[in-house]
C-alpha cells in the first residue's frame, strides 16, 4: 500500500504513513499559465493506492486534481484506489431546496465512484446521509474523540458544550459524554417586536459556565459570533469555539474573536493557523482496519 | 429539444436556437461566498437537452459546472443529453510526455461520458485523436469555412496562409484551397551560433505578400509574435492572425500587436474583443443533422 498526497493533502499522507508504518509520497503538480492543473505520479504505483486530497477552496481546482489522480492511478496500473477527502466540498448543497437545483454533493460523489474508487473516506461530512448515494463502501469519521481530548487539555471546570443548532446535538452529546459535562443546543428565536434574531440555549443556564461551541463547518462565522455574544450576555465565564472544518472565509476570524471568543480550534482538514487538531490518527485507524 | 446555455456559454445557446428554430434558455447560476458553484435549471426539462458550456478559464470551475449540469439534467428527467463544448480545456495535455503524467484530456472526456452524455460536440480540439477515448459518437468542428469567409472579407491580394508549425498544415491547406491562395508552414530553426530560434516558411517567399497566420489556440502569443516578426523582416506587406481559440493570457495581445500584426481575429468559443467569428452556424448545422 502506498499513501499518496494530492496537491491539497495538507501533509496528511506523511502523518498517516508514519502512524501506519507505510510508504508515502506527494504527487508532482503545478498550474500552467492558462490555469490548467498538471498532475504526475513521480514513482511507479503499487496495487493498492490511498489518495489523500482535501477539497477546501479553490474547491473546483482541487476536485479536478482529484479526478485526474484517480483516473491516472488506474491508468498507471493501480488495482484498488482508496480515496480520502478530509474536507468534502459541496456538502451543503445536499438537497433540492428549489425545483431544478443541482444536488451537487451527489453529482460529485457519483464522479468519484464512477472513476473506479473502491473505498471512500471522509471526515465529518455536513450530512452523513449524502454518502448513501455511493454504492462503494465508505466511512465518515466524526472527530468527537479528538474534540473531547482537546477540551480536557484546556483544563476548564463547569463546562457546557453547545451546538449552534438542533441538528448538531448528536455531535455535542458525544463529546459531552466522553468528558462528563453538560450539553445543549442553541435555539433560534426572532424577537416579535424588533425582528432581531436571538440564539439561546434550549435548556441550560450558561451563567458562570465555561462554554465550548462545537460545529462541523465554520464558514463566514455569522452564527458562531452571534451565539458567542448571547452566551456572554447571559453570564458565561468564557467561550471557546471548536470545529472540524475551519473555512473561515472573508472576515470570519475577526467577527468571531471580536464577539468575545477566547480561542478558535479546528482540525487540519483545512490548512490554517487554527488547525490545531490532526485527524491523521483517526484516518490511519480506518485504513489499518481495511488492510489488516 | 431544448438548448441550454451553461454559465460559460458565451450566448451561443441563443444564436444556435435562432438558427435552428428551437427554444433556448440559460441556467441559473451563482458562486457561493466560499467559492462553490450553484446550478439550477429554471424550467422543466424536455427529453432531449443540448448543454452548451465552453471551458475557458477558470477551466476547473467551468468543468465542475458542466458535470453538475449533465448529472442534474438526467436527475430531472432528461433522456438524452448532448454536450457542446466550444473550447475544450486540457486538450494540450494529450499524451504522457513524462512517465506518470495524467493524460488530462482523456480523464476529462471519460467523466463527460460516464455522466451519461449521448453525443459530444466540440470545436477544433487541439488533437482530434484525443476524442478516440470516447465510446459515444462525437463531432469535432474545424471552422476552416468560417476562416475562408473572413479572409475574403479582408479584401487582400497576394495572400499566403501560414501555419505556425507543421502540425497545422491541414488546417491552412483547407482554408487556402477554399479561397485559392498559397499556403505553407513555418519551420523552427535554431541558429547554430547564436542559439536564437527562427521561424521561416518552409517553401514560400513571403516578400510583398499579405500573410494570414492561422492557429488553433493562441495562449501566450509567443510563437505568433515571433512568426510575425520574421515574415515582416522577410518583406511581408501585412500580417493578420486568425485563430479558433483566443486564450490570450498575460500580455499576449500586446506581444502580438507590437510584433507588427495588423489584426487578431478569433471565433467566439472564448469571449473577448477579438471573437469576431461565430461558430453558431456550424454547431447548429451538426445539431440539425442529429435531429432531423
State the average pLDDT for chain A: 96
A192 falls in which pLDDT band (50, 70, 90)? confident
Q: What is the pLDDT of residues B80-126, one digit of tens each?
A: 999 999 999 999 999 999 999 999 999 999 999 999 999 999 999 99
Q: Give the β-pairing of A119-123 and A275-277.
A: unpaired
User: How far apart, in whole angstroms, are the C-alpha atoms of residue B108 and residue B22?
Assistant: 29
Residue A266 counted as domain residue? no
Tell me how close the Cα of B117 comes to any Cα of chain A, in angstroms. 13
B188 catalytic? Reply is yes
pLDDT in tens, A7-56: 999 999 999 999 999 999 999 999 999 999 999 999 999 899 999 999 99
Are residues B82 and B179 both part of a single domain? no
Question: Cell digits for A33?
Answer: 499559465
Q: Are residues A100 and A203 in the same domain?
A: no
Sign of CA dihedral B116, B70, A62, A129: negative
Specify if A75 maps to a domain: yes
Q: Which residues contact B32 (CB under 8 A, 6 or more apart)?
A: B38
Rounded CA-CA distance B63/B81 in Å is 16
Say yes or no: B135 and B162 in one domain.
no
The pLDDT, as a whole number, for residue B91 is 97
pLDDT in tens, A121-179: 999 999 999 999 999 999 999 999 999 999 999 999 999 999 999 989 999 999 999 99
Residues 231-250 of chain B whose Cβ lies under 8 A from any Cβ of chain A = 247, 249-250
Backbone angle region of A221, left / alpha / beta, with phi > 0 → left and psi within -120 to 50 → alpha: left
Give me the sign of the Cα torsion angle B246, B251, B255, B261. positive
Give me the pLDDT at residue B132, please.
Answer: 98
> If you average pLDDT over every residue of chain B, what do you get?
96
Percent of chain A surpassing pLDDT 90: 91
Judgement on whether residues A234 and A223 belong to the same structural domain of the protein: yes
Q: Which residues of A touch B60 (CB under 8 A)?
A: 35, 37, 58, 60-61, 63-64
Q: pLDDT value at position A200?
A: 84
Tell me the three cell numbers of residue B228. Answer: 510575425
A180: in domain: yes
Q: Cα separation of A263 and A268, whole Å?
A: 16
* From B40, B44, B59, residue closest to A101, measured CB to CB: B40
pTM listed for this prediction: 0.96
A48 within a domain of the structure (yes/no):
yes
Section A266-289 average pLDDT: 97
B207 shares a domain with B91? no
- Both A137 and A282 in one domain: the answer is yes
Strand A80-85, strand A238-246: pairing:
unpaired
Of A39, A44, A59, the CB nearest to B36: A59
- Within-domain flag for B272: no
pLDDT, tens digit, for every residue of B199-253? 888 888 999 999 999 999 999 999 999 999 999 999 999 999 999 999 999 999 9
Residue A89 sits at the chain B interface (C-beta within 8 Å): yes
What is the pLDDT at residue A199? 83
* Residue A149 and residue A137 in one domain: no
Q: What is the pLDDT of residue B182?
A: 96
Same domain, B84 and B206: no
C-alpha cell at A42: 513521480
CA of residue A202 relative to chain centroid, distance: 26
| DSSP-assigned states of every residue in B139-161 | EEE-THHHHHHHHHHT--SSEEE
Same domain for A109 and A48, yes or no, is yes
Query: For B34, which of A33, A104, A247 is closest by C-beta distance?
Result: A247
A39 near B CB under 8 A:
yes
Q: Which domain does A212 fall in, by range?
A: 144-261
* Closest by CA position to A12, among listed A119, A88, A65, A84: A84
CB burial class (10 A; 0-12, 13-18, 19+) of residue B56?
A: buried
- Mean pLDDT value across residues B37-51: 96
- Residue holding cell 530560434? B197
Interface of A with B in 179-208 (CB under 8 A): none
Query: B60 and A57: CB-CB below 8 Å?
Result: no
Contact A34 B40 (CB under 8 A): no
- Three cell numbers at B26? 440559460
CATH number reported for the structural domain that contains residue A169 in this entry: 3.40.50.2020
DSSP state of B218: E
First to last CA, chain B: 11
Cα separation, A114 vs B115, in Å, equals 8
Q: Which residues does residue B101 pair with via DSSP β-bridges, in sequence order?
A: A40
Q: Which triple of cell numbers denotes residue B148? A: 475562408
How do B119-123 and B138-141 pair as beta strands? parallel
- Locate A8 and state its grid cell: 491539497
Residue of A45, A100, A111 best to disrupt the B interface, most CBs of B under 10 A: A100
Say whether pLDDT at A193 is over 90.
no
ipTM above threshold 0.85? yes
Which of chain A's residues have a Cβ under 8 Å away from the Cβ of B28? 100
Contact B84, B49 (CB under 8 A): no
Q: Is the residue at B287 inside a domain?
A: yes
Query: Quick one: cell of A146?
Result: 479528538
pLDDT at A292 over 80: no
Which is catalytic among the residues B61, B127, B178, B188? B188
Whether residues B256 and B284 share a domain: the answer is no
What proportion of chain B, given as a percentage, has pLDDT over 70? 100
**Number of alpha carbons in the 13 Å side-chain half-sphere of residue A258:** 7
CB distance B245 to B124 below 8 Å = yes
Residue-wise pLDDT for B76-89, tens only, equals 999 999 999 999 99
Length of chain B: 292
The pLDDT score that the predictor gives to residue A238 is 97
B67 touches chain A (CB under 8 A): yes
Number of domains making up chain A: 2
A104 touches chain B (CB under 8 A): yes
Q: For residue B261, what pLDDT band results from cuts at 50, 70 and 90?
A: very high
Length of chain A counted residue by residue: 292
Does the pLDDT of residue A220 top 80, yes or no? Answer: yes
Give the C-alpha separation, B17 to B4, whole Å: 9
Sheet holding A119-123, edge to edge: A23-26, A2-5, A48-52, A80-85, A119-123, A138-141
Q: In terms of domains, do A204 and A129 share one? A: no
Q: Do B115 and A114 touch (CB under 8 A)?
A: yes
Same domain for B135 and B149, yes or no, is: no
Tell me if A271 is assigned to some domain.
no
Burial of B219 from C-beta contacts in 10 A (0-12 / 13-18 / 19+): buried
Q: Is residue A83 part of a domain?
A: yes
Q: Which residues 6+ apart lie within 8 Å of B130 measured at CB? A: B91, B94, B105, B106, B109
Closest by Cβ to B107, choosing from A68, A98, A110: A68
The size of the A-B interface in CB pairs under 8 A is 138
Amino acid at each position: 500500500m502506498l499513501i499518496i498526497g494530492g496537491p491539497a493533502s495538507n501533509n496528511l499522507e506523511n502523518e498517516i504513513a508514519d502512524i501506519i508504518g507505510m510508504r508515502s509520497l506527494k504527487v508532482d503538480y503545478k498550474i500552467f499559465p492558462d490555469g490548467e492543473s498538471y498532475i504526475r505520479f513521480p514513482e511507479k504505483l503499487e496495487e493498492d493506492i490511498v489518495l489523500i486530497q482535501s477539497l477546501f477552496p479553490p474547491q473546483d481546482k482541487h476536485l479536478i486534481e482529484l479526478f485526474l489522480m484517480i483516473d491516472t492511478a488506474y491508468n498507471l496500473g493501480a488495482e484498488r484506489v482508496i480515496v480520502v477527502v478530509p474536507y468534502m466540498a459541496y456538502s451543503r448543497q445536499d438537497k433540492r431546496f428549489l425545483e431544478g437545483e443541482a444536488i451537487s454533493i451527489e453529482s460529485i460523489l457519483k464522479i468519484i465512484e464512477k472513476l473506479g474508487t473502491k473505498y471512500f473516506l471522509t471526515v465529518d461530512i455536513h450530512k452523513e446521509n449524502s454518502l448513501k448515494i455511493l454504492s462503494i463502501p465508505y466511512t465518515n469519521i466524526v472527530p468527537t474523540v479528538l474534540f473531547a481530548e482537546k477540551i480536557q487539555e484546556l483544563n476548564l471546570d463547569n463546562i457546557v458544550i453547545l451546538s449552534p443548532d438542533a441538528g448538531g446535538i448528536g455531535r455535542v452529546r458525544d463529546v459531552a459524554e466522553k468528558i462528563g459535562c453538560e450539553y445543549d443546543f442553541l435555539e433560534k428565536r426572532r424577537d416579535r417586536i424588533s425582528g432581531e434574531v436571538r440564539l439561546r440555549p434550549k435548556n441550560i443556564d450558561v451563567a458562570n459556565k465555561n462554554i465550548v461551541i462545537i460545529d462541523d463547518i465554520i464558514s463566514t462565522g455569522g452564527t458562531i459570533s452571534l451565539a458567542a455574544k448571547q452566551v456572554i450576555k447571559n453570564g458565561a465565564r468564557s467561550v471557546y469555539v471548536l470545529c472540524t472544518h475551519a473555512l473561515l472565509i472573508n472576515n470570519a476570524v475577526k467577527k468571531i474573536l471580536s464577539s468575545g471568543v477566547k480561542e478558535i480550534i479546528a482540525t487540519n482538514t483545512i490548512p490554517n493557523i487554527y488547525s490545531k487538531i490532526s485527524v491523521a490518527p483517526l484516518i490511519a485507524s480506518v485504513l489499518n482496519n481495511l488492510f489488516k
